[in-house]
Amino acid sequence: MTKTQLVEKLAEQADLTKQQANGVLEALVDIVVTSVKGGDPVKIPGLGTFKKRETKARIGRNPQTGAEIQIPARTKAAFTVAKSFKEAVLGD
């Protein structure tokens, strides 16, 4: 589903104009990005949780040469799917 299709569905189901629905979607994304960037996880009930995740430094291998390489520690953005969402999609 594209952003345009999502905005159309949101406008239809929430009884909003497409312009209002687009504003709501953009505000939601902005709030999630700002909060997660600041270190606060964002939990959306029925959908999942957005958060920052730290990874440890580790040793990897170059697949072409087999040589060991050092992979540095870093911060990643992570999304964990809510149990109710997973059950609804997968039918468990």
Whole-number Å distance between alpha carbons of 88 and 28: 23
Give the CATH number of domain 41-92; options: 3.40.50.2300, 3.30.70.120, 3.40.640.10, 4.10.520.10. Answer: 4.10.520.10
User: Domain limits of the chain?
Assistant: 1-40, 41-92
Q: Which of 21, 47, 19 is nearest to 32 (CA)?
A: 47
| pLDDT higher than threshold 80 for residue 92 | no
User: Could you report the per-residue pLDDT of 35-89, keeping only the tens digit for each?
Assistant: 999 999 999 999 999 999 999 999 999 999 999 999 999 999 999 999 999 999 9
**What distances in angstroms separate CA 26 from CA 61, 68, 91, one per listed residue?**
40, 43, 31
User: Taking the CA of residue 19 as centre, how many other CA atoms within 13 Å lie in the half-sphere pointing to its CB?
Assistant: 0
Enter the pTM of the model.
0.80
2 alpha-carbon distance from chain centroid: 16
Whole-number Å distance between alpha carbons of 86 and 51: 18
